[in-house]
Chain A
């Protein structure tokens, strides 16, 4: 049988190597240290410009989209308001700098020249974000609160096995791990290829959170069953056995989920690409963390390796000092 538990140090190393660059990208300016989110906010979360335009002849939404894409505004939301009247939301358009005309000017003349927009009937103004910042905060507070509830639920559900609270803590650890990886990846992509996050990203994160814990508990259930059957055996051996026994299921489930998501990602329209990307990363990372993070953390905790690890770090020294002063 494959010895998965034996190589547990490596999995943490791999995760750290993925998470740390992402974290750095989230923190450095513009990021958490400057009070920003660390992600590139898309049109849903930021103020923007609105144009209400009318054309002299019939125009398709697609024509306008192509024009705006050419001018570098692929984020534009275009809606027909009936007839040849269109409502276009974009990011805040840049003012004129030196000889360069303002972006508004460029867009208007392009639409006038190619599509016959009526220049003197343009209504232009700024708009507030579609999704309020509060909504995003709500989502994160809610996730934090949900984690606490799940911790206690898992503790309760595993009450028959020794040290049940550790299962709860490990499940939450895996959840935080998954969310950090996704946030990190999107933060880096935002810096590298200008990938913006919109409300779909938040939706994806919430769904992944549900999936991550779900998957972890399935693996834990197997450990619960094996441990209660032979309580005297070493936890590491039991965890390894449980992982091997449930490997078929873990792979099949993530494969089927990925198949649907990838099919939609490649065949489907642009519209939910962002959501699908989050879900696909989430499906992979969620399965990975159930086996290689949550379960291994249980073993490390059981063998006192976490304490030992922290004792070697300055943080642990600080903790010890704190305790000494406290006395």
Chain B
């Protein structure tokens, strides 16, 4: 008995130690080869991740990217710069209209996609473009036009659901996603915000004539950045020419303005890079994620020019997409599984092009949103409908890609039109008040327990502190994005944790009353209270698991959040009451407090009980 108890005490202290360490080190980064990497760096206290209502985050506004799309293939190669110049100079019709909202997306050296604002069917810009391009760059072999219209209400609803699904699958973050007006979408994400801009100035050229003016970068830089629109920034000087600027989230506009201003007012810039806290999220959300598989015929073995044949095979023909490490275990890949129809088409394709002579010219093109992700040669006939997208992915990129593929493509392409930081939904004042109130409440519970149960109350108080630390450690390590709702669930689970202790102490008191010694009362009290603690908590955990299952399936982030935090709370409370409280009480009995029953219960007892008698063997529970 005694050695078991000592072993238990040691494990309890170990668990407590691990939990304190998990909370104590604000940023945790453990990377053991062969195991998933553990990285926890929440912005909240103790490194906890806080939700939008408790902390700020990123605020993104997307707009349906409507417009007219042209796709064309020239007979010869056309350099992109030439094409852009041509397009910018083109004027159409009587009013000399230019192409508005122009975007040029190169697909290969002779194949391009361009986008403009919506053009009606008989607009001269739409009817005349083919001829104008032929005139400038020679014959065109393929010319396709399509229009992306203003989205309908249902389409926007579909986009909302899709993006909500993507974010929910990516993690337990609770975003706010709302349709804004007719064709825009607001996305707010907790935690992630702020940008880091890295600027490397070029070494001034000593031979320059006239010599570059001496500029004091350290004084000039803040002024230039502020003018460009940087807010709340701090500059970290890495060396004479390298600067790292932490700031609010800066939009592309501000970045462009800043770069121009730096070059004109300070001097040549060798490198200018911006990473943002919401880069991952942007990559996940904004992509249309239209995945297509095409049969590519190359003109030569290095495949500089090619043509793609449509097979009618898209992301809709996949049944599963998941990220995993590659066979070597270093890089990350996305595994794809086609459904029945997809498998058949893919099987035909690989059978057809895996022959030795086909391998020279034929490839499988995997294209996402018009960009080729991968164009491998088929070396074997693949009949089971499985394939892999490999590339230079890290874990986040692979996961993000897999989620996008699995949740399907957006009905409407989106473009990011606004990006900024956003404050918490609840003022910091109200959060502080709630925290203080929670602590006051907890203090009152301690006082009540100690007055009512004396030493046992002290044990319960200790167990509650233990409970709180362990639960917070779980919240951090899982990790759970804490919202006020979780804190509510946590408070009620404190109630349940106290309940387990109260159940045990009440049973102990009953046993003391019928004349047992303290030590045996403890044992019997525990075993009597155990079925009630076990069954009641199992029922709550069942509720949580059902909620979790539903929440997961039907995309209710709210439901999932409550279920997880309550489940953790109940599971840990069971552990603390039965293992921690019990062990502490036993320790107290051994260090000689066992004889002083008055320390444990305020009730007056028959005289004979108050002397320690040898403990009779504990009776088992019901």
Please give, as numbers and ranges, the residues of chain B lying within 8 Å of A131 by CB-CB distance.
558
The answer to whether B484 and A271 touch across the interface, beta carbons within 8 angstroms, is yes
B-side contacts of A225, CB under 8 Å: 528, 531, 622
For residue B95, give the distance in angstroms from its CB to the closest CB of chain A. Answer: 30
A138-B551, A142-B550, A146-B547 known; A213+B531 contact, CB < 8 A:
no
| A-contacting 9-mer, from B199-207, B266-274, B432-440 | B432-440
Chain A residue with Cβ nearest B531: A221
Take A264-B438, A264-B491 as given contacts and tell me if A134 and B554 are in contact as well, using a CB distance cutoff of 8 Å: yes
Residues on B with beta carbons closer than 8 Å to the beta carbon of A214: 496, 499, 536-537, 539-540, 570
Contact of A91 with B by CB under 8 A: no
Closest-CB distance, B461 to chain A (whole angstroms): 11
Is the CB of A34 closer than 8 A to any CB of chain B?
Answer: no
Q: How far is the CB of B103 from chain A (nearest CB, A)?
A: 24
**Which of A6-14, A67-75, A94-102, A147-155 sits within the interface?**
A147-155
In the complex, A308 has a CB within 8 A of chain B: no
Q: Provide the bound-state CA to CA distance between A50 and B301, in Å.
A: 56
Inter-chain contact A260/B532, CB cutoff 8 Å: no
A238 on the interface (CB 8 Å rule)? Answer: no
Identity of the chain A residue whose Cβ is nearest the Cβ of B430 in the assembled complex:
A269
- In whole Å, how far is B537's beta carbon from the nearest beta carbon of chain A? 7
Binary interface encoding of chain A residues 206-241 relative to chain B, with 1 for a CB under 8 A from any of its CBs, else 0:
110111011101100110110011000000000000
Of A195-203, A294-302, A312-320, the one touching chain B? A195-203
A125 to B186, CA, bound (A): 12
A61 close to B (CB within 8 Å): yes
Across the interface, which residues of B come within 8 angstroms of A260, CB to CB? 438, 441-442, 444-445, 491, 494-495
List, in ascending order, chain A residues with CB within 8 A of B487's CB: 272
Complex interface: chain A residues within 8 A of B178 (CB): 50, 127-130
Asked whether A210 and B544 contact (CB < 8 A) given A218-B532, A267-B437, the answer is yes
Within 8 A of B (CB), among A261-289: 261-272, 275-276, 279, 283
B469 CB within 8 Å of chain A: no
Contact A217 B440 (CB under 8 A): no
B444: contacting residue among A154, A248, A259, A276, CB under 8 A: A259
Pairwise interchain contact B434-A271, C-beta atoms closer than 8 A = yes
Interface code B413-424, partner A: CB below 8 Å = 1, 0 otherwise?
000000011111
Chain A hits for B537, CB < 8 A: 214
Q: Are B484 and A200 in contact (CB under 8 A)?
A: yes
B422 touches A256 (CB 8 A): no
B434 and A272 contact, CB distance less than 8 A: yes
Q: Does B59 contact A (CB under 8 A)?
A: yes
A142 to B437, CA, bound (A): 32
Query: Is A77's CB within 8 Å of the partner chain B?
Result: yes
Knowing A127-B180, A139-B559, A260-B495, the reply to whether A213 touches B543 (Cβ < 8 A) is: yes
Chain A residues positioned under 8 Å from B449 (CB to CB): 256
Alpha-carbon distance between A255 and B188 when the two chains are bound, in angstroms: 39
Note all chain A residues with C-beta closer than 8 A to B448.
Answer: 255-256, 259
Q: How far is the CA of A25 from the CA of B321 in the complex (A)?
A: 49
Q: Cβ of B546 and Cβ of A87 under 8 Å apart?
A: no
Identify whether the interface residues of B are mostly helix, strand, loop, or mixed: helix
Contacts of B425 in A (CB 8 A): 77, 79
- Whether the Cβ atoms of A268 and B434 lie closer than 8 Å is yes
Residues on A with C-beta less than 8 A from B422 are 79-82, 87
Which residues on A sit within 8 Å (CB–CB) of B510?
Answer: 245
Q: Which residues of B contact A255 (CB under 8 A)?
A: 448
A138 touches B559 (CB 8 A): yes
Closest to A206 in B: B562
B75 at the interface (CB under 8 A from A): no
B426, CB-defined interface residue at 8 Å? yes
Tell me if B429 is interfacial: C-beta within 8 Å of chain A: yes
A residues near B160, Cβ cutoff 8 Å: 128
Q: Is A85 an interface residue (CB 8 A)?
A: yes
Q: Is the interface of A mostly helix, strand, loop or mixed?
A: helix
Alpha-carbon distance A176/B542, docked complex (angstroms): 17
Q: Which residue of A lies closest to B488 (CB)?
A: A275
CB-CB < 8 A to A213: which residues of B?
536, 539-540, 543
Number of B residues with CB within 8 Å of any CB on chain A? 87
Give the contacting residue for A142; candidates B499, B539, B547; CB below 8 A: B547
Given contacts A218-B503, A255-B448, contact A138 B430 (CB under 8 A): no
Q: Is A66 part of the binding interface, using a Cβ–Cβ cutoff of 8 Å?
A: no
**Assembly CA distance A217 to B489 (angstroms):** 20
Q: Assess whether A50 is in contact with B558, with CB atoms less than 8 Å apart.
A: no
User: Does B34 interact with chain A (Cβ within 8 Å)?
Assistant: no
Q: Is A304 an interface residue (CB 8 A)?
A: no
A259 to B492, CA, bound (A): 11
State whether the Cβ of B277 lies closer than 8 Å to any Cβ in chain A. no
A194 sits at the interface (CB 8 A): no
B538 at the binding interface (Cβ < 8 Å): yes
Contact A256 B445 (CB under 8 A): yes
B89 CB, nearest partner CB in chain A, Å: 35
Query: Bound complex: CA of A257 vs CA of B510, how far in Å?
Result: 23
CA distance A249 to B444 in the complex (A): 17
From B426, B492, B551, give the contact of A271 (CB < 8 A): B426
B535→A221 contact, CB < 8 A: yes
Selected from B181, B437, B536, the residue in CB contact (under 8 A) with A218 is: B536
CB distance from A225 to the nearest CB of B (A): 5
Known: A135-B558, A206-B547, A218-B503. A82 touches B484 (CB 8 A): no
CB < 8 Å neighbour of A211 from B186, B426, B495: B495
Q: Are A268 and B489 in contact (CB under 8 A)?
A: no
Report B-chain residues with C-beta under 8 Å of the C-beta of A210: 492, 540, 543-544, 566, 570
Q: How far in angstroms is the closest Cβ of chain A from B181?
A: 4
B498 on the interface (CB 8 Å rule)?
yes
Once the chains are docked, how many angstroms separate the CA of A53 from the CA of B55? 21
A-side contacts of B517, CB under 8 Å: none
Contact B436 A267 (CB under 8 A): yes
Q: Which residue of A lies closest to B181 (CB)?
A: A125
Contact B499 A146, beta carbon cutoff 8 Å = no
The answer to whether B426 and A203 touch across the interface, beta carbons within 8 angstroms, is no
Interface flag for B30 (CB, 8 Å): no
Task: Give the Cβ gap from A251 to chain B, nearest Cβ, in Å.
Answer: 10
Contacting pair B488 A271 (CB below 8 A): no
**Closest Cβ of chain A: how far from B6's Cβ, in Å?**
31
Q: Does A31 make an interface contact (CB < 8 A)?
A: no
Is A204 engaged at the interface, CB distance under 8 Å to the other chain?
yes
Instruction: Name the one of B427, B492, B546, B559 contacting A257, with C-beta atoms under 8 angstroms.
Output: B492
Q: Mark B173-184, 1 if CB is under 8 A from A, else 0.
A: 000101111001
Check B551 against A142 for contact (C-beta < 8 Å).
yes
Complex Cα distance A262/B445, Å? Answer: 12
Q: Contacts A200-B488, A207-B488, A260-B441: A138 and B426 contacting too (C-beta < 8 A)?
A: no
In the bound complex, residues from chain B placing their C-beta under 8 Å from that of A35 are none
- Taking the complex as formed, is A326 at the interface, i.e. its CB lies under 8 A from any CB of chain B? no
- Contact residues of B between 550 and 575, Cβ < 8 Å to A: 550-551, 554-559, 561-563, 566, 570
> Which residues of the other chain, B, contact A267 by a CB distance below 8 angstroms?
433, 436-437, 440
Interface contacts beyond A217-B536, A261-B491: sample of 5 additional A-B pairs, CB < 8 Å, sorted by A: A127-B181, A139-B559, A256-B449, A266-B437, A267-B436
| 23 residue pairs from A and B, CB less than 8 Å apart | A81-B420, A83-B231, A127-B178, A127-B186, A138-B554, A139-B550, A142-B549, A207-B492, A210-B492, A210-B544, A211-B492, A211-B495, A214-B499, A225-B622, A253-B502, A256-B499, A257-B495, A260-B445, A261-B441, A268-B433, A269-B433, A271-B430, A272-B484
Closest 5 CB pairs of A and B: A269-B430, A257-B495, A260-B441, A263-B441, A268-B437
